[in-house]
Each structure stands twice: as structure tokens, then as C-alpha cells.
Amino acid sequence: MGKIPLSKEKKIKLQEEAEKLLEMGQESDTKAAKSVIELSNKAEKEDFEEKEKVLDVLDHKRKFQANPYKESVANYMHSLLKEEGIPRSYHYMIEVLEKGIGLGVWNETGTLKAARKLKIVGEPKYDMHAAMMFAYWAGDIIYKDYKGITDSGIITK
């Protein structure tokens, strides 16, 4: 089989990554630490910029469209719940209500474990934080009830 030629941009990127790895693995701790700190700062900056984008979108929708704002907060909560890694046998439901968002959690047998309502205040920073806290709450409810966790905390299913 023949090799697929790399574009000039990909070659440059690969070379830069190799140089970063060499810098981080060198014997001089001060030079290696500098590279690690730079990469960490870059990752933090990208994470901050991603959160800022979400805040900007929510702020825009809050100002110009009432229901899409609530739906956007509900979608954000859903994305956080997906990141929680909830077992497939458990279920949750997010519902857009007149004054906020409802979140319900069901166990393996279909029994409602818990439900809460989040009142939308209209300030994206606070609504995002509340959605995050609700997602963590749902994850805690499920994992406290889940039988597929060993004593050491490993999820088996």
C-alpha cells in the first residue's frame, strides 16, 4: 500500500506537536515546566472562550426570544447530563415549563426517583450555573441508586 501524502499544513502541525513533546520531556525542569504551563494556559483559555460563546448565545436569545432562551438552557442542561455518563437503564426528562425547566429522573424499573423545577431568572450566567447544578444533582441521584457500582466506585454496566 502507498502512503497518503500529508499536506504542508499537517506536516507543520505534526512538527510543532513533536517539538512540544520534546520540550516537555527534556531534562531541564525549568524549560519543561514552561512548556507544560503554556499548554495548560492555552487549554484553560479555550475552555473559557467556549463558556463565553455559550453565554453570548444565551444572552442574545434572552434579549430577543423568550422561549428559545429556555430551550437553549434546557439544551445546555441536556449536554451536561450526557457528559455525566448516565447508565443506559436509567432515564431523565427535561421539560420546558411556563416559568422554567423541569427535570425528572427514573430508575431501571421505570420508577420516578426524583424531580425538580428550575426557575429561569433570565441572566445567562446564573441560568447556566443552575443548569449545571441540576445536571450534577441528577447524576448524584442516579449513582446513589445504581446497583452496578463496585465498592471501589467502578461502574460495571
- Rounded to two decimals, the pTM is 0.57
Which SS3 state, helix, strand or coil, does residue 138 take? helix
- The answer on pLDDT for 6 being more than 80 is no
The residue with cell 531541564 is 28
The mean per-residue pLDDT over the stretch 122-133 comes to: 92
Task: List CB contacts of 113: < 8 A, sequence separation 6 or more.
Answer: 105, 106, 107, 141, 142, 145
Q: What is the pLDDT of residue 102?
A: 95
d(CA 57, CA 62): 9
Q: What is the pLDDT of residue 21?
A: 64
Q: What is the pLDDT of residue 23?
A: 65
Tens-place pLDDT, residues 12-63: 766 777 676 666 666 666 666 777 777 778 878 888 888 888 888 777 776 6
The residues pairing with 136 across neighbouring beta strands, listed in sequence order, are: none
Q: What is the pLDDT of residue 38?
A: 76
The string of DSSP letters for 41-75 reads HHHHHHHHHHHHHHHHHHHHHHHH-HHHHHHHHHH
Tens-place pLDDT, residues 84-118: 888 888 889 999 998 899 999 998 888 888 999 99
